Structures are given as structure tokens and as C-alpha cells.
Structure 1
Amino acid sequence: MSKPEFVHLHNHSEYSLMDGVIRLSDKDGKPSQALKDLANSGAKGFAVTDHGNMYGAVEFYSNAKAVGLKAIIGCEMYISKGTRFDRGHSQKENCHLTVLAKNFEGYQNLMQLCSIAFTEGYYYDPRIDKELLAKHSKGLVVLSGCLKSELNQSILSGDLTQSEKLVTWFRDNLEPDSYYLEIMDHGIEKQKQVTQALLDMSKRTGIPLVATNDCHYWKPDDHEAHDARVCIATGRKMADTERLKFDSHEFYIKSPEEMHKLFSFAPESLSSTLKIAEMCNLKIPMDQMLLPEFKVPPGFDQNSYLEHLCLEGLKERFPAGYRPEYAERLTYELGVIKRMGFSGYFLIVWDFIKHARSIGVPVGPGRGSGAGAIVAYSLRITNADPLEHRLLFERFLNPDRKSMPDLDIDFADTGRDRIIAYVREKYGAECVAQIITFGSLGAKLVIRDVGRVLDMPLMQIDEIAKKIPVGPNVHLHEAMQGPELQELAKDPQVKRLLDLSLKLEGLKRHTGVHAAGTLITKEPVVRYTPLAKGAKSEVVTTQYDGDICPKLGLLKVDFLGLRTLSIIDDAVKFVKKRHDPKFDIDAIPMDDAKTFEMLRTAKSLAVFQLDSQGIRDLLFRIKPTVFDDIVSLIALFRPGPMQSGMLDMFVERKHGREEVVYDVPLLESILKDTYGCMVFQEQVMEISKKLAGFTPGEADGLRKAMGKKIHEDLEKMRSKFIAGCGVNKIKDKIATKIYDQMVKFGGYGFNKSHSVAYGIVAYQTAYLKANYPIEFMTAVLTSEIGHSSIGAEDKENKLVTYLEEARRMGMTILPPDVNKSEMRFDIQDDKIRFGLLAIKNVGSGAAETIVAAAREKPFISLDEFCARVDLHAVNKKAVESLAKAGALDGIRPGEPPHAARARLLAAVDESVGRQQKVRADLDRGQGLLFGAAPEASIAASQSSLSEIKPLSEHDTLAFEREVLGFYFSGHPLLSVKAQLKATATHEVSQLAPSITTPVRLAGMISKMRKMISKKTGEPWVIITLEDLTGEVTMLCFPRTYASGANNLAKIGAFVAATGRLSFKGEDAGAGTPELIIDELIPLDSSATKFAKRLRLKCDVTVGTEK
């Protein structure tokens, strides 16, 4: 008897973000075990039909092809009963329909349907309608759908007439033999009812049946992980009874035997799966180049024009001539680019960067591996000399493997959108789209998500999550081999958490818009990728992410907005205006003594990449003396190098406390700049080329295998490396030692091209801070406008931090003043004047009209101010904010600020109202008739204002903080500054993930939110604590709250809080800190309590410098 055959045609991968658990790829990006098993079982095909999207279509197609499995691309579409434009309560429950692509035309129609569902039909879900389906039906097979289909709902409601109408419509409006009645059996009673009706309908109409299983997970025992996945997506607990829950455990990929047993009563429904699989023969072109056309001048083709531009560019770079190595490198790179067909790519990028420079938008010196190309350097796409810094072209473009280049470009954040607008205009809006991103359930995040749906205590979840190392390639399976997690796993609840987390780790969790990724296509984007749009967003994105689009031959460019470039640009404008009109930031000396002295003493706050507390501590240890030290520092300040010991090795060797030994002389030329440490990926590539004779392409392959820790590939390359070293007379034992070091440290290696490019930006900002401090800090403060959220519960308000830094550097900060302030921060009489835009509720329109009016003549009273500014832009709220900030103090000269602000605030309503009435009268032509009235009312109001009591100091400061984000003229905590210092182990600005011991913070409660535990009904609070450096969120759970904290937790209270730090978003090795409070006491009693525990700790190795 022959083995039964069956093809699954209705299946949900992890890209069904709410309830799909079938993986398409493993953690290394290779085909998943589920796909391998299907291929090994002899399956004649498998379909992926995710809910309303095609996010995973090409990933599935590629991986299925790799394992010899026929990929059937489809989508379980949401279809409106009426039209896709209908809205209203009745449209919330959208119907389901299974749609499959037979061929490339069907695939393109499916992309159109999926795109329009998002861009036109989105209402709770992306929806199509029947009109749209009929219009785009060519090349499609349609199955009638699950219990949520319109057909099955009409059957269940008993409306058989409507059911007949529906099947007739689908049969008549689709291609012949392309509509099937879909039957399922998960042991659900309603399915049996529907199946009987569909059997009868099939006999009456001749429309064939097809059996599916609506698979949502791989194996039967995945059902609980699937349930947890649903709860994570819907924000519910697994113990909740009233929630979305599948009615059975049968939604797994069943064997052909199981499906034949279930549907033995309808054998044609089983054979239909094979027939449909045979009909579906989609081939997606994956090896073509689909660059938009770039027109070149007459007499050139793209290759010759690129060469011409590069040669001219090198002449501009080196007016006195350049060394032969530059010409040789250029010839080599152009040859590779021409052979791979990428000349047009470089011309497109060169063109929009040239446009950016022509309109004054600053462009960064480079980003990522592109800085390693002399072609990019000669075209001024990048500004780091690859020969001077020993950067490798192969790190950017592997000549042995054809894949699209990936140039990431930094523009000043204020100009980025202008460049994207230029590209849209040049190539057509329909040919440009932003790229989607997918957030995944990383090792720490999945623990937190699963712990939440299991309703485990937050502190317990936090304890488990902290046992997982930080880093990009951290996986739960490896972390669970550690003794700490193994000990915790002895608790059955923790074991359940870990088991479920293992099954869900790495699954796609949510979508986002890539911060910079933009697709530029030859024809409208929708011909190459379906489009998506969020429910609350107008941004249209691709449905394929930034890894997939280049595989289709599409041009992806990352247009990044880098705020630091705006800071440099603003600072340079100040320098040119105040000191040297010819100042050129790209021509500064790279060995400036003042710059390195500042960096050696770690005074790098506000310096690009060298700003955080952690990297400042590292600066102090490394004490950089040359630019290469900065380049290395940027590469070393990451979890991998720090945890592996590489960082400590670098520091010790830099200062001569550890000897640098090279196993073979050839290594010295490669590793000398990093004191014998393998810091960069390029060093690993050079070692493999020089010692073992790897080709440039092979060297890049080794680099990738090490970065992704692909064990299988690393072992293959080990034997090749050792054999290659043997040719160079290097003994196997030494070759093995070198290879082991490469595997250990090379996996943490950083992209040197990126480090050099960002090192240039870091050095430029450091140079400006050291040599032009007021110009630099004024630009830095301006850059924080709109970024440092006033009142946000972040660990630090950067505007406050940088104002304090400016004061520490000896600068005077002048208050905002409507007669003297510009829109942004400005330099006046060698002092920094506060900008109007930095005041809450004062928008750009308001600031602009105030500055313009003040330039004509100073404001002399509130009424005159209201008469001269545009009150549509400067509304009542803006005027109140100006008064609270002290920006109107100057129009009441001679009065103390407390009194002036009280009287101004009391007069705002009347002054604004009066001027609005005057303008309304003028608009009606009545101004002359009533023109004298306001003067009498002004006099009356002025006399009444003299009776207004001045603001208290507390209120004055509170108002400043409300609209500026900090206390400008003082601080409530200044009176207890010494007590804060004696009590706290850390200031808020010093909190970092590296702190693992309990901490004690001291400050003032500025915000508080009362909560009720869902589990016990007990009260607890979320507190915002503020000290003189910033603010932090603290969690005071029921037990601590009930033990006395409830009496202390009041806004304005001065307290000391002891507890443990937790970090939100720490997968990236950083994150926002929260303190889980163990003890909360009044600040005034803390000095006595903690004085007994005072210890002095001296580090004799540091000396007096720190």
C-alpha cells in the first residue's frame, strides 16, 4: 500500500504576529527544523498563509528552496462583508479568506491585494473586498476559509441562501477551477456542522472540497507555547478565563496519515491538496539587479562615468598628487564594482550626497563598512582615507559573493528629510518607500514576557532575566547551562517559564519602521514588495525587511539623521562668526594637545560616542594619546570585549604593564596599533589572508562565521586556516593557537571602517569642546530642544546635564528673555543665552514672531507685547509659559522675579483677551470707534496688579521646572546638597547596567502614581525620585509600601531609597534604570543611620589625578 500524501495549504508562521509559532529560520538565519522535517518527509509542498500579510513570504521561499521543499506563497486575508472603505461597529469582525499564488502573476496580484488592504482597507485589520479580489484574481487560488469566513458564518447562522450566493460569486469571479470549499477538523463542534453543509454544497454546485489544518505551531506539544504567544500579543494572563484562546490542541502540522484518517469520508478533499500544489509553481527572481536608472552625460556609460568621477575626486583630494597605492586600489575597486554591476549604485548615492552638500546639509564622514572603499572616499561619499587607516574594501563588498552593497549615510538630523524628498522627486514617490523592521523575542525579553503572562512576581522575573548575559548573540539555551539558572530551574514554575521561553525565543513580536532604511526602485515599489501601514500611522513601509529587499536585487539606502552633525554645523557657524571665517572642521589637526588632554581626564560629556559615564570611566583608564586609541575605544566599549577580558588586556598593554607578544612576526604589522589585541574584524580578515592565504572573499566569509558564531562553518575554515599557515612555514600548534584566539576575540571584533568614521566625528566634537567650548556647548544645548522631554521619567534630562556641564566649564547661562533671546540658544557677551524654543508650549511659530518683533524694538509691557506678537502663534498658554520661565521679567524692570512673575501671570488672561478684542474690532472696522477704551482698562488693571502677592520661592522654582524641565534660578535640594552626598552611593546620572550591588539614592519625590496589585489587591506606588543630576523611576511594591513607605511617599518629600537596579531594554547592553525599593526613609534621618557605615576607600594606583 502506497504512503498517503497530503500538502498543508493553510499555515501560520511566526509572521502571524499574534498567534503563529512556526519558525521559518533558525537562530543562524538558515532553514528552520520544521522546514527541514517537511522536506525530509517527502512533502510535495507547504504553504504559508499569514494573517493579512506577506511579511515572511520571501524568507519562506528562500529557505524552502534551500531544503528542496516547494514553497506555496499565500495569505489568510481579511475581507470586508461590504466594501473595504466601510467603517463602523459592524465592520470590527472582519472575515477570513485563504488566498494562494499559482504563479508570478498571482504573486504580484497577491502583493497588490495585501498592499491595498493596508493602505485603503485598514480598519482593525488590513482588509480587501470582493471588488478588489475580482480585479486582482488572475493567478490566484482561493479557499473558502476557516470558521471566521463569511461563508461559514452564514452557514452557522442558518442563512443557506446567502451561502449559495457567496459560493456562486467566488466561482464566477475567479479564474476557472480556482475556488475550493475548505474543510477542517480540530475536534470543534461548529466545524462538524460547517463541514456537513460544505459537503452538501459541493455536491450541489460541483465546487471541489479541500482539507486544511490551519496550522499555527509545529508539534502537538507546542500548544502551551502557542497559548503563551497569544497572551503576550493580547496582554492577557494565561490563567485568565475570559480571553482569546484556541478551542483545541490540534493546530499543529499533522502528518499525511493523520489528515487521511480525519478526512477519510471526503477523499477528494485530500487529493485536492496535491492538485493545488501542482497548480502552484511560483518562481521569484532572486539574482537580478533592479537599480533605478541613473542617466549619465553623453559620451559615458555608467562604468566610465564612475571612473571619471573617481579620478577627478582623487585629484581634488590630493592637489599635489597621490601615491601609486591610491591609483592601484582605485583600479582594483572599480574592476570589482564593474564586474558585479554596481556602478549605477555608486552614482545614485554620489548624486544625492552631492545634492545634500549643495544645499548645505552636513554629511557624515562615513558609517559602517562603506568607509573602507576608496571609490566612496574619492566621490566624497565618505571622508575617511581607507589607505591611511588600513581599511578593507572586502569588508564592504565581497568579490566572491554577489550581494547588494550597503552604504549607510549620516546626514544632519535637521536636513535628512530634505534629502529623502529629493530622492522621491527624482525617482518618483511611488518608487520610494521606507522599510519595515521586526522586533523579536530576545533572550531577556522573552523571559520577561512569558513571566508576565504566567503572572509571576516581577522581582522573581527580574532575578531570572539578570542571569542571562547581555549581548547580541546571547541565546537562552547557552545561558541555561550556567549553574545559577540551573539552580533556579529546580523550582517547577521557573522551569515552566524557561521551557516556554525556549520555544518562543527569537520569534517575531511586532513591526516597526526602520529608522533610516529606504527603498528606491526602478518601477513602483509594489511590483517588488507588498506595502504595509500601521493602524495609527500614515507612514507606508515595505512588508519585506532590510535583509530581504537586497536579496530581491532592490536598492536599499539608510538615510540616517545624526544630531551630532547638526551640533558640529552650528558650532562651526559660531566659530566662523566669532573667530575665523575660514575655519574648516575637516582640516583640524588630528593630534591636538588640548583635545587629548581633555580626553585623558575624561571630561568628554557631550562628546559624540564618549559621553556616557561608562565610557568616561574607560577613557580615564585608557588615557588616549593618538587618534587610533579613540578608534579602538569605540570598538571596545561593548559587552563582548568587556566580558571577554579583551578590554582589560588592551588597557594593560597600552600602559606597558603587560608585555605584547606576537606568535609570529607577520602579526605585528596587523595588530601593532591595538597593542597585539584583535579588536577589529578587519584584523581577523588580514590575518587569514597574510598567514593562511585566504582570498579576500574567503576572509570575509570567516569574519561572518565568527560574528555569528556558526560552529559548522568555523570548523570547516579551521582546517583550511591551519593548512594555509603551513604553506607559510607556521607550525600547526601555533596556527591552532592563533585560530582559537581569532574565534574567541574575533567574534567580538568590531567593524574598523565604522569605528574610524565615527572616531572622526568623536574627535571633531572633542576638538570643538576643547578649543571652542562656548561655541560647542551652545550648539549642544540647542540640539537638545525637542529631545530632552520636559517632565519625562527618563534617567536623565540631557539639557539639564549639559547646562550643568557648561556651568562647570565656567560659562554663564543667561535666562530666557523675550527682548534678548533668539529662537535657539545663542552666545551674547561671551555668555550663553537661553533659547525661546526650549520653553514648553512655545513652538517655532511663537518663538519666530517674538524674535522678529523684539528686533524691531524692545517690548515694554505685557499689553504692548500682546499687541505686537501674533496671538494665533503666541497663545495664552505660551504667554503663561514665558512668564513662568522668567522670559517676561525684563518688561517689569526693577521688580524682583517673584513679584514680577506673580503679577504677569495674574494679568495674562486680561492682556491677551483685551488684545484679541482689539484685533476683532479692527477686523470688523470698529477699531477707531472703540480705540480709546483699552487705555482706561489698562490703567485700572495695572493698579489692581500691585495688590498681587509675590510667588513663594517654592512656586517660582516649581514653575521654572514645569516649563523649562529643571530649576533655573535655584533648586529645592541645594539646601541639603551635603546630606545627599553623604547619604547616596550613586547619583542618578551614574546609574548603569554594570552596577550589580544594592544602591542607595537620595533626593526628592517629584512624581508618584498609586497602583493596586492585580494579584493581591494591595496598594503599591511608582515613584519618580529627583536628585541634582536627573531623575529615576522607583518601584515600591506592596510589602515595602506597607512597612512604612506609605507614610513617606509624598510629592516633595526628601527621602533616601535603598534597593536593586533593574534596566528596561537592557538587551542592548544599556537601558532605562528602575530602582526596586527595599527601604525608604526620610533624608533627615539617613545621615545618622548611614554615618556608622561610612568607609574610606583609596585606590593607590590612581594617584591624585582623578
Structure 2
Amino acid sequence: MKEVRLHIHSEYSLLYSTARINKLVETAGHHRIEALGLTDTNTMFGAVPFYNACVEAGIKPIIGIELTLKGVHQDAFCLSLYAENDKGYQELMRLSSESQRRFLSLDDLAGRTDHLFAVLPWEESEAAYWIRLKEKGWVKDTLEKYKDTVAAGRLYLEWPEEEGTAGLEEWKEAARAFDLPVVAGNNVRMADQKEYKALIALQAVKQGIPVREMDLSDIPEHALTPFPQESEMQQEAAANAVRIADACAVTLHPSTPSLPSFPLQYKNNSVEELNYLCREGLKKRFSSPSAQAEERLTYELTIIENTGFADYFLIVQDFIQFARAAGIAVGPGRGSAAGSLAAYVLEITDVDPLKHELLFERFLNPDRISFPDIDIDFQDDRRDEVIRYTAEKYGVSHVAQIGTFGTFGARAAIRDIGRILETPQALIEKLAGYIPAQPGRQTTIAETIQDNADMKAFITREKAAAAVMKLAAQIEGMPRHTSVHAAGVIVSRHELTDHVPLLYKEGNVPVTQYPMGVLEAQGLTKIDFLGLRNLSMLQRMEELIKRKDHQFSLRNLSLDNDAAFALLAQGNTDGVFQLESDGMKKALQQIRPDRFEDITAVNALYRPGPMEFIPNYAARKHGKEQTEFPHPDLEPILRDTYGVIVYQEQIMQIAALMAGYSYGQADLLRRAVSKKKREVLEKEREAFISGAVQKGYSSDTASKVYDTIVRFADYGFNKSHAVAYSVISYQLAY
């Protein structure tokens, strides 16, 4: 008979289980378990990674949840629910979401279990509780209520591994009396038995008490092992577990991104509306638009129409218009969106892509269709107002912030374990101090022990230290609490609980249970609403200036103020966005900016790798070094950066000029060569040289230019982003 385990809590039952999903799947494979059921408490945090890990390992995933319900008579008890199909999966998401807002009762399940299987757990259900207290009348009331509520043929009683347990004979009698099948199960909270001490530690951390005060009877030693099939009841229970597993078939396919339809004001459909607003915006931005601007806008609108992203642009411009009307500061742009003329004329951005030679294809590539990503900065103290406006406009059930997890870092794990083991504080701090603090990267306990001979010798010598480190390493990296992503917001045409379960944070703010990576893989549309403190400062500065100069506007500020450039050239940049570090000040003193393009270049060059070209840029700017170009034809592209390839857009322009690439193809080339895969580099070399030869260049010249592209592909910075953020730098310098 197949091996099936249905009642499993993963690490996403926060501080309740040590069973990591990858370890569960690995252990299941070792025991030849063919199907696993996930039943985390009231939440579905781990559903998608669990599903994917099982499918990859050839194990059938059963998506479930352990729901806490008001008792029929008193207190709170558990019910395990499993999705039979996609409709059942959606019902679980809705139930999980509701359970985060209020305490559910059995009545809340009425009429909602047609696509679910329900199992009353042996350890945690109300019926089993009354069995153990020998309250036969209340057992009868409880089971009758459950049987009346759950759809016919879908309610089971869990049959545990240990058959000598008190009350189990009465449990069997109840199953027969109410014609309820039994199903194999145990509350698995460990992937294997070696995790038991870590599980106890996790519970002690949760309760905030030392391990010695823990009641270990509350923590059964249930690890993931095959279910015994010796007795008749065990065989019957195991067979029913197989029946449930065979009946369940959820398919988590990515959905097509579907934004709400934008409420139209002027035209009959979103494409016409976008065209109208863009044409009006073009006249506003350029009093007499050039042929280049007209042609570029028509080109962009054609691509936006063909890709079906008109509603996206309309939605974004609408909440930005709201912010501006409400006096909320909005950033001049962020990321590759600043390369879009449509975004500029809609006033989504304040950077003219024609003036700054920014490329639309770096933002939305017609040769590689992916959902556009317009990230918007708002003043940080009023960002929530814009999110609230968006939720009210499209419906609070259609908009949610993105959830994240706070995990046990190495130092936090050491301190928590040290505390519950009652380790002297001096020893805890000594151990935590061994973990190096590296910005942007968390060093693990295992890496530190391997690399630090002093630490290795110390924990070998000190038993108390070794005990702390062993347990800390076991819980390190596990999710500890939920949090909210700094910027990400999901906006959907459909009710979000059709696609993702929700949490509710302070002020009843809906937050997705799934983190960003899972949401994007599921096809949900993310918009980043970022809060930027510098914009709040600029807003206050502008308000102060307007007391004397009523016409003043940062948005209309010309980018050629000599005093601002002089300030930057001196490196006097405390409080100036992006330019505050000592290294950045030194770079500014070398380059001595006297035009806006120099600020953009400094922002792009001051990073590991390209910063080695700062001296070349500075020396060429000031005539101390001759400016050289890979080929004379590239001078128009590289003149502003003195022959140094600073931007990704320059790579794209070179490929278009010399090898006849479209900008879309050139963007694909840029992406491909930056990965530095040998076979890809050679394939792209052949295509580049072939295109260049057709345009009259020698293969030797083309090969040298291609080598230059490859060298700078890693270094090149997104010019659209550099220009947009340099505007904020300049405004603060001004």
C-alpha cells in the first residue's frame, strides 16, 4: 500500500514546528512516502514552496490547513482541512484569510466543504477532548454538529500511531456509531527525530520561558516516518489516507496578470483613454512637440497597446495624480520607467527621456514581453495615503500589501537559545560577537565555525557554548514572525482571496500571506509604493521657500545652477541623497561636476567594479588624459562620458549602431552577455560580428567592440534610474 502522511506542520507554523519543507520532502523520499499533506495552523505561508518542492521530488502534495474553531461547547479546537481540487484550494485561502480577522466557528464552514476533506485530529479536536474526559454526551453533541456541518462523506476521524493511548477504544466506538471513517495521522512537527531538542527550544522561545520550565507532555515526539500498518484499524486508517490523497488534485498554475479595469473618463476603452491622456500630456510637456517626440510616443503607445498594459499605465498615473493633488511629494522617477516618454507625458515621471537619451526598450522590451515595473517614490510620511486611495478606488478586497518573514539570524538565534538555556549573558555575547556583521549578507553559524579557528576551539572547549551553538544552528534561518514588505502592493481585478490568502496587520491592513517571489510566480501584479525620507525633506523645504517665493517649484527647477555644482565639486554633500558617503565625496572632488550629466555619471560609476574608471572619467573631463573611443563612429554615444561606457543604454546604442540591432534585440544582447556564459558569449559574438560586417565594419573591428561590450556589460548601470535619482541629488544640493 502507498505511504501517505497527511497531518504535517512545517516551519511556517511559526515557532511551533522545526520541520523545514525541503527536509520534509527529503525525508519523505527516504521513507518512500508518496504523498504529503501540509496543515499549518490557520495560515498557508508554505503552501506554494511545499507544492513546488513535492512536485520536483515526485511526491504528491496535498494542500491543507489546520483551522482553529470555536468549540461546540467551549474553548478552541482544531480541524484539519484538505483541498480536493482548485475550488477547494480557493476555499482554504478564503477560510485562512477570515481566520486572521475573527475567531471562526463551525457555522462558518456550513456549505463550504463540498471540495474539501475534513479530519478531526486525535490530539487537538474537541470530540477527542471530550472522549478523554469521558463526557459521552458532549462527544455525541460535538460529532453530530460536525457531521451536520461538513458535506456528506467528507468528515474523518484521525487514527494515531500509538494504539495503546487512553480513550482510543472509545474513539473507535464513536467512529463506528457515527459512521465516520478513520484516517491515518499524527501531528508531525519534526522532519526527523534529531530535531526534538530544537523543537523544545523553539517552544521555549515562543513562550519566553527557560527550557527547564517546559511541560514536555505538550510536545509529542512525532517525526515524519511511515505509518505503522500492523492492526486492522491501522490498515483501515492508512487505506483511507490513500483514498484522500488519490482524490486530491490541486494545480497551482500561474494566473494571467489581471489588473482592475481603469474607470474611464474621456473615451470608450483603456487604449483610447491612454492615447488621449498621452496626447494631451505631450502638448503640456512640449509646447510644440517635435516630430521625434510624436514618433516616439506613437511607437511606445503601439507597444503598450499590443502588450495589453494600457490599464496599468492608467492606474499608475491616476494614483500619482491623486498624490500630487493632495500635496504629497512624488519622486521624479525610479528604475527603467524613466526611459518611457508615455510615463513622462502622463507625469508618472519628471525626466525627459528624449533630452537624456533614455531608451524605452530598457523598460518595456517588445522582443521580451514581461510585465512593466513602475516603482514610485513618495514622501515617506504620507505614502500610506496613496495606498489607501488605491484600495478605496479598486476595492479593499482587491489591494493588499505584500507579506514577508522575519527569520532567525545567526546572532538572534544564539541570543534566543542562550536565554532559554539560561546561559550567562557574557558567554552569549561572546558567541554572538564571533558572527561577523556584513552589510547585505548574513553569515551563518556553520560558515563562522568553519572560518574562525578561535570560535571552533572555544566551543570545543566550552560545553555550554557548544550546546548553545548546536541548537542555534538548528533554528537559524527559520521564519520567526511575519512582517510587511517595504514597498510592494498587489492590485488585482479579482478578489485577492481567489489567488492568495491574507493576513491583517495594524489598522486592519490586508497583507498577503505569500511573499513577493511566490506572488510574482503566481502571476499577480505588484506595484512598488516606496517611501523616501528625502522627498519628505524636499517637500518641507519647498513649503518654506514658497513663503517668500510663491512661484517656486522644485519640479520646474532648471538643472544648471552653478552654486549647486560648486557645492558638489567641494564634496560638501552631507544630507545630499546618494552622495553622502566618504567615497562618493572623494569621487565628486575628483570629477568636479559642472553639468547635470556629471552627477548622473558619479551615481552610476560609484559601485564596485566601475569605480575603477572614475579617475579616467575625471582626467579626461579636465583634459589631463586623452579621450579615446573604441571606434570613431561611437563618439556620439560615448562623448558625454569621455569614452567610458557607463550605462547599459550605451551598450544597446552601440549594438544598434554597429550591428544593426533593434533596441529590443540590443537589450536581449545586454542581458545575455552580462551572464558571462561561454556558449552564450560565443553565440552572441557571431551574431554581433555578422550584423556589423553587413553594416560595412571589418570582423576584426566588430570583434574588438564586442569584447568591449562584454567587459562593460557587468559594469553598465541603468541610465534611466541614474538620471532620475540624480534629479533628487541635484534638488537637495540646490
Shorter-chain TM band: 0.7 to 0.9
Residue 65 of structure 2 is aligned with which of 69, 75, 78?
Answer: 75
Of the two, which has the highest radius of gyration? 1
Structure 2 residue 614 is matched with structure 1 residue 650: yes
| C-alpha distance in structure 2 between counterparts of 1:219 and 1:681, whole Å | 49
Residue 422 of structure 1 is aligned with which of 360, 376, 389?
Answer: 389
| C-alpha distance in structure 2 between counterparts of 1:361 and 1:737, whole Å | 47
Q: Which residue is 2:178 aligned to?
A: 205
Kept in 1, the 8 Å contact 2:122–2:157? The answer is: no
SS of equivalent to 1:193: coil
Q: Which amino acid aligns with 1:599?
A: L
Q: Which residue is 1:12 aligned to?
A: 9
Residue 307 of structure 2 is aligned with which of 340, 361, 364?
Answer: 340
Q: Which residue is 1:385 aligned to?
A: 352
Cα 1:133–1:664 change in 2 (3 A) is farther
Q: Which amino acid aligns with 2:41?
A: H
| C-alpha distance in structure 1 between counterparts of 2:237 and 2:643, whole Å | 68
Residue 118 of structure 2 is aligned with which of 142, 145, 151?
Answer: 142
Which deviates the most, 376-385 or 554-563?
Answer: 554-563
Q: Which amino acid aligns with 2:576?
A: V
Kept in 1, the 8 Å contact 2:411–2:432? The answer is: no
Deviation of the 1:726 alpha carbon: 5.8
Alignment coverage as a number of residue pairs: 716
Structure 2 residue 552 is matched with structure 1 residue 583: yes
Q: Which amino acid aligns with 2:539?
A: D
Length-normalised TM-score, structure 1:
0.57
Deviation of the 1:348 alpha carbon: 1.4
Kept in 1, the 8 Å contact 2:653–2:663? The answer is: no
Q: Give a deviation string over 1:314-341, Cα, whole Å, max 9, x none.
A: 23222232352x4454344333332332
Kept in 1, the 8 Å contact 2:400–2:512? The answer is: yes
Q: Give a deviation string over 1:192-218, Cα, whole Å, max 9, x none.
A: 335444334334433112223433344
SS of equivalent to 2:513: strand
Q: Which residue is 1:1029 aligned to?
A: none
Residue 138 of structure 2 is aligned with which of 156, 159, 162?
Answer: 162
Q: Give a deviation string over 1:609-632, Cα, whole Å, max 9, x none.
A: 345667556655664444344335
Cα 1:716–1:201 change in 2 (3 A) is farther
Deviation of the 1:169 alpha carbon: 2.4
Superposed CA RMSD in Å reads 4.4
Structure 2 residue 508 is matched with structure 1 residue 532: no
Deviation of the 1:230 alpha carbon: 4.4
Q: Which residue is 1:330 aligned to?
A: 297
Residue 36 of structure 2 is aligned with which of 46, 50, 53?
Answer: 46
| C-alpha distance in structure 2 between counterparts of 1:497 and 1:409, whole Å | 44
Structure 1, unaligned runs of 5 or more: 25-31, 84-89, 122-127, 768-1106
Kept in 1, the 8 Å contact 2:198–2:471? The answer is: yes
SS of equivalent to 2:92: helix
| C-alpha distance in structure 2 between counterparts of 1:512 and 1:271, whole Å | 41
Kept in 2, the 8 Å contact 1:691–1:724? The answer is: no
Q: Which residue is 2:322 aligned to?
A: 355
Kept in 2, the 8 Å contact 1:6–1:271? The answer is: no
Q: Which residue is 2:515 aligned to?
A: 545
Instruction: Give matches, 1:1018-1097, under 5 Å.
Output: none
Kept in 2, the 8 Å contact 1:413–1:562? The answer is: yes
Q: Which amino acid aligns with 2:242?
A: L
Residue 595 of structure 1 is aligned with which of 564, 569, 576?
Answer: 564
Q: Which amino acid aligns with 1:80?
A: K
Structure 2 residue 722 is matched with structure 1 residue 755: yes
SS of equivalent to 2:303: helix
SS of equivalent to 2:124: coil
Q: Which residue is 1:514 aligned to?
A: 485
Kept in 2, the 8 Å contact 1:22–1:34? The answer is: yes
Cα 1:576–1:694 change in 2 (3 A) is closer
| C-alpha distance in structure 2 between counterparts of 1:676 and 1:601, whole Å | 25
SS of equivalent to 2:353: coil
Deviation of the 1:380 alpha carbon: 1.0
Cα 1:347–1:153 change in 2 (3 A) is same
Kept in 1, the 8 Å contact 2:183–2:240? The answer is: yes
Q: Which residue is 1:808 aligned to?
A: none
| C-alpha distance in structure 2 between counterparts of 1:691 and 1:243, whole Å | 72
Kept in 1, the 8 Å contact 2:434–2:448? The answer is: no
Q: Which amino acid aligns with 1:766?
A: A
Kept in 2, the 8 Å contact 1:146–1:184? The answer is: yes
Q: Which amino acid aligns with 1:286?
A: P
Cα 1:296–1:139 change in 2 (3 A) is same
Q: Which amino acid aligns with 2:275?
A: E
| C-alpha distance in structure 2 between counterparts of 1:681 and 1:671, whole Å | 12
Cα 1:701–1:220 change in 2 (3 A) is farther
Deviation of the 1:49 alpha carbon: 1.7
Q: Which amino acid aligns with 2:578?
A: Q
Kept in 2, the 8 Å contact 1:76–1:98? The answer is: yes
SS of equivalent to 1:77: strand
| C-alpha distance in structure 1 between counterparts of 2:628 and 2:468, whole Å | 47
Cα 1:668–1:7 change in 2 (3 A) is farther
Cα 1:155–1:525 change in 2 (3 A) is same
Q: Give a deviation string over 1:504-538, Cα, whole Å, max 9, x none.
A: 5543332123344333333444344333224x654
Q: Which amino acid aligns with 1:154?
A: W
Deviation of the 1:605 alpha carbon: 2.8
| C-alpha distance in structure 2 between counterparts of 1:446 and 1:179, whole Å | 41
SS of equivalent to 1:604: coil
Instruction: Give matches, 1:193-232, under 5 Å.
Output: 193=166, 195-227=168-200, 229-232=202-205
Structure 2 residue 527 is matched with structure 1 residue 560: no
Q: Which residue is 2:87 aligned to?
A: 105
Q: Which amino acid aligns with 1:321?
A: P
Deviation of the 1:292 alpha carbon: 1.3
| C-alpha distance in structure 2 between counterparts of 1:34 and 1:363, whole Å | 47
Q: Which residue is 1:1072 aligned to?
A: none
Deviation of the 1:53 alpha carbon: 0.8
SS of equivalent to 2:158: strand
Deviation of the 1:174 alpha carbon: 0.7
| C-alpha distance in structure 1 between counterparts of 2:208 and 2:682, whole Å | 50
Q: Which residue is 1:942 aligned to?
A: none
Instruction: Give matches, 1:965-1004, under 5 Å.
Output: none
Relative contact order, CA 8 A, sep 6+: which one is greater? 2
Q: Which residue is 1:461 aligned to?
A: 431
Kept in 1, the 8 Å contact 2:229–2:238? The answer is: no
Instruction: Give matches, 1:480-879, under 5 Å.
Output: 484-485=451-452, 488-492=455-459, 504-534=475-505, 538-579=508-549, 581-611=550-580, 616=585, 619-620=588-589, 623-634=592-603, 641=607, 644=608, 646-647=610-611, 649-651=613-615, 653-655=617-619, 696=664, 699=667, 703=671, 717-718=680-681, 720-721=683-684, 724=687, 727=690, 729=699, 745=714, 751-767=718-734
Length-normalised TM-score, structure 2:
0.82
Q: Give a deviation string over 1:250-286, Cα, whole Å, max 9, x none.
A: 54443xxx32457775112222222112222234552
Cα 1:119–1:373 change in 2 (3 A) is same
SS of equivalent to 2:500: coil
Q: Give a deviation string over 1:1007-1049, Cα, whole Å, max 9, x none.
A: xxxxxxxxxxxxxxxxxxxxxxxxxxxxxxxxxxxxxxxxxxx
SS of equivalent to 2:558: coil
Residue 307 of structure 1 is aligned with which of 275, 286, 302?
Answer: 275
Kept in 2, the 8 Å contact 1:725–1:735? The answer is: no
Cα 1:636–1:219 change in 2 (3 A) is farther
SS of equivalent to 1:216: coil
Kept in 2, the 8 Å contact 1:721–1:739? The answer is: no
Residue 288 of structure 1 is aligned with which of 228, 235, 256?
Answer: 256
| C-alpha distance in structure 1 between counterparts of 2:709 and 2:231, whole Å | 57
| C-alpha distance in structure 2 between counterparts of 1:388 and 1:147, whole Å | 70
Kept in 2, the 8 Å contact 1:102–1:282? The answer is: yes
